[in-house]
């Protein structure tokens, strides 16, 4: 279906939710439970839910005795290798309360830029959803290089939403909405609604989030919102603690209208 406003969310058939590293790691690890509660509630009413989760590197850092995000690629890859396993265990432990099984999907930018792996990725996610599995997608940080990385999981989430024809993309972070200027500054006002094609002239878009852990911010979220909206998915930007309200259609966050017509970038490709 086409989701045109918040009132349509409860009837959405396919939703992609993205959560950032700073929201589910370190002192915020406990937010995994409420996040899963909200996803499981949507799953129970028949929604096909895909979670795009950052956090592998941040989760692995303490086990490598790292106090801050490493700069070199090899150490990032090592932290991701350790953290991805632990992150999936935490999600599955939380999902066990609802009898929901998670499926891990790791992608690189090349997987979605080339027709054959892109087709394979779409088919795999579609099949997981048909089997009532909750796919958890992350960038494959263990093998990705600087040259082929998505850059941030906001963009990955938008491309996944486009790939699978999602009705709605929800981008979660530490900030409850998009503001006319960084929200800690005087005069910042929440932007409740962004019509399709609005260039947000006069809006000061800066980075946000807990320094040293995540890689995204308001700028990457707006860019991702435009990608997904252009593909025909509505987009909602809000804070992780508000995810249950968001999926229930409450008037939270910043809403981006979808394009009038849906499209997908998926080209026909042979199965492999």
| Residue 201 is labelled as binding a ligand | no
| Residue 13 is labelled as binding a ligand | no
Cβ distance 229 to 199 under 8 Å? no
| Residue 54 is labelled as binding a ligand | yes
Alpha-carbon distance 265 to 45, whole Å? 29
Cβ distance 50 to 42 under 8 Å? no
| Residue 174 is labelled as binding a ligand | yes
Binding residues for ATP, as ranges, are: 18, 173-174
Binding residues for substrate, as ranges, are: 54, 141, 153
Binding residues, as ranges, are: 18, 54, 141, 153, 173-174
């Amino acid at each position: 279906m086409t989701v045109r406003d918040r009132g349509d969310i409860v009837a959405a058939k396919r939703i992609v939710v993205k959560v950032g590293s700073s929201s589910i790691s370190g002192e915020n690890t406990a937010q995994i439970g409420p996040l899963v509660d909200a996803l499981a509630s949507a799953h129970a009413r028949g929604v096909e839910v895909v979670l795009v989760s950052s956090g592998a590197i941040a989760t692995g850092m303490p086990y490598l005795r790292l106090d801050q995000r490493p700069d070199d690629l090899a150490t990032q890859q090592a932290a991701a290798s350790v953290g991805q396993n632990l992150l999936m265990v935490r999600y599955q432990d939380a999902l066990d309360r609802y009898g929901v099984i998670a499926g891990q999907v790791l992608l690189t930018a090349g997987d979605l830029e080339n027709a054959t792996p892109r087709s394979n990725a779409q088919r795999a996610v579609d099949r997981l959803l048909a089997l009532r599995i909750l796919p958890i997608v992350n960038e494959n940080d263990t093998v990705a290089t600087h040259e082929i990385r998505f850059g941030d999981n906001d963009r990955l989430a938008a491309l996944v939403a486009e790939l699978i024809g999602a009705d709605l993309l929800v981008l979660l972070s530490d900030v409850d909405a998009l503001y006319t200027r960084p929200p800690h500054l005087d005069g910042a006002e929440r932007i409740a609604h962004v019509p399709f094609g609005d260039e947000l002239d006069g809006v000061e878009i800066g980075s946000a989030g807990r320094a040293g852990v995540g890689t995204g911010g308001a700028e990457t979220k707006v860019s991702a919102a435009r990608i997904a909206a252009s593909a025909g998915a509505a987009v909602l930007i809000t804070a992780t603690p508000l995810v249950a309200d968001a999926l229930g259609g409450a008037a939270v966050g910043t809403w981006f209208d979808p394009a009038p017509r849906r499209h997908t970038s998926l080209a026909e490709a042979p199965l492999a």
